[in-house]
Structure 1
Amino acid sequence: MSEIEPKRAPAVAQQIAEVLIERIVAGVLPPGTPLRQDHVAAEFGASHVPAREALQFLCAQGLAISEPRRGIRVAPMDALHQQEVIEMRAALELLAFRHAAKQFNARHLAAIEAAVTAGEQAGSIVEWERANRDFHAALVAPCPMRRLLAVLGQLRLAHSRIVIAMERSANWLPRSNHEHRQIYAALKARDHLRATTLLTRHLHGIERPGADGQAVEAEAPDAREPRARRDR
């Protein structure tokens, strides 16, 4: 099941939701953009029922908000929102990873390696960030805590919005591929302690949004590690 797939949603609503989610994550639909049910239904040649279900799913994922008299619009992405997403995702992913690490089998490792390779071969920030989501999803896939994984799926999508927004005005380069490859190598060697240490540094070596909503560098957790990067 795709990370952006609405569970048990009808096929049409699912398809609409997937397209809208990718547009929001990529910044094609920026924060505050109205999401009118009639416009969505017309664009996708669908009835109002699947259009409504798709928009409800966006709200459930935290990518859209519904307000009285204002309708549904793309969720904001201010500094406080970014800080919340970054810190929650780091804490919860480490928790899930600790429960998953000793459960990895050949299939899980193959999925991780495939995501690393896709990131190394990506030609744009949108392609890279999709591979980045796949990599971090694969890292926690064996975790038995389904509710935790569902929350992490939402946080990864929210985090992708932050990464792509930060990179939009920069010359994009995939700076985290080496760290992804190191984490994979540690897991393949069954060195779970090293994998956890590497993932902890990787997740916390990230830019934090400042008071003005612009990213500012966080302190690296180890003096030997490079300072913060955007593309975690």
Structure 2
Amino acid sequence: MNATIADTIYEDLSQQIITGGLGAGEKLRQDHIARAFETSHVPVREALLRLEAHGLAHSEPRRGMRVTALDPAEVREVIEMRVALEPLALQHSVQNMSPAVLKLADDARIACDEAQTMPQWEARNRAFHRAILTPCGLPRLLHAIDDLHIASARHLFAHWRPKWMQRVDTDHAAIVQALKRKDAAVATAILTRHIRRAS
């Protein structure tokens, strides 16, 4: 039961940090969070440790846990790491692209295009990337990519939220088409361009 509560707390707090609802330097008070979720401190501590592991919070001696600051220098590093790791995962995914997996990816692509708000779009965009990369079957690689997506999303919200508008993502559509043909070279080339364009 505690694991489920910890998951809920982590998801709620991470989304608030990513979207800017909780600002850099803001204190994450265990007692306040425990009251808000009507739970004990145990799942709260677990959720806070997960936030720290994902780079969204950091512990300060005698000051408790606080939201980490956005580092502009981190953006370049995150993009370069995504460019290295996501095409690698996609290369391994191509051979495991069953009709069911392709339908899941296409459904995720359509849902992303239909997003009405930036938070909705960001969650669905991550779901699309997960859908095309998960078939690689490399859990450590996928875990590293998930962390990069969290860092990337935070910077997107900080810089692009006022300019965001609903649009059809032609790169997503082209990637799905290449995957249907099992054309790894084209799919990875489009994905690389897509990640760089997002920066």
Percent identity for Structure 1 against Structure 2:
42
Residue-by-residue CA offset, 1:9-50 (whole Å, 9 max, x unaligned): 711111111111111111111222111111111111111111
The TM-score, its normalising length taken from structure 2, stands at 0.93
1:184 deviates by 0.8
Query: Does 1:159 find its partner at 2:152?
Result: yes
Q: Secondary structure at the match of 2:90?
A: helix
Q: 1:186–1:194: 8 Å Cα contact kept in structure 2?
A: yes
Decide which of 192, 195, 207 is 2:184's aligned counterpart.
192
Would the aligned equivalents of 1:133 and 1:156 in 2 still touch at CA under 8 Å? yes
RMSD, aligned CA = 1.7
Pairing partner for 1:93 from 86, 99, 104: 86
Q: What is aligned with 1:201?
A: 193
Residues 33 and 73 of structure 1 are in contact (CA less than 8 Å); yes or no, is this contact kept in structure 2?
yes
- For structure 1, the residue ranges without an aligned partner over 5 or more in a row are 1-7, 208-232
* Per-residue Cα deviation, 1:125-158 (whole angstroms, up to 9, x for no partner): 1111111101111121111221111111111111
Identify the residue that residue 36 of structure 1 maps to in structure 2: 29
Higher relative contact order (CA 8 A, sep 6+): 2
User: For each residue in 1:148-182, what CA deviation from the matched residue of structure 2 results, as whole angstroms up to 9, or x when unmatched?
Assistant: 11111111111111112112232x22456111111
Runs of 4+ residues deviating >4 angstroms: none
The aligned residue for residue 220 of structure 1 is: none
Q: Which moved more, 1:112-121 or 1:89-98?
A: 89-98
Residues 125 and 167 in structure 1, CA contact (< 8 A), matched pair in contact too: no
> For the structure 1 residues 79 and 94, does the alpha-carbon distance in structure 2 shift closer, same or farther, using more than 3 Å as the test?
same
Q: Count matched residues.
A: 199
Where 2:165 maps in the other structure, the secondary structure is: coil
Partner of 1:147: 140
Residue 55 (structure 1) aligns with: 48
Distance in 2, Cα, partners of 1:9 & 1:62: 22
Are 1:124 and 2:112 counterparts?
A: no
The aligned amino acid for 1:118 is A
> Deviation at 1:206?
3.3
Q: Which has the higher helix share?
A: 2
Task: Give the secondary-structure state (helix, strand or coil) at the position aligned to 2:24.
Answer: coil
* TM-score under structure 1 length normalisation: 0.80
- Deviation, 1:90, is 2.1
- 1:182 paired to 2:174: yes
Partner of 2:104: 111
Q: CA deviation at 1:69?
A: 2.6
Gaps of 5+ in 2: none
Report whether the alignment pairs 1:80 with 2:73: yes
Q: Cα distance 1:96–1:112, how it changes in 2: closer, same or farther (>3 A)?
A: same
Q: Distance in 1 between matches of 2:12 and 2:34?
A: 13
Aligned 8 A contact 2:90 2:184 in 1? no
Q: Are 2:113 and 2:167, in contact at CA under 8 Å, matched by a contact in 1?
A: no
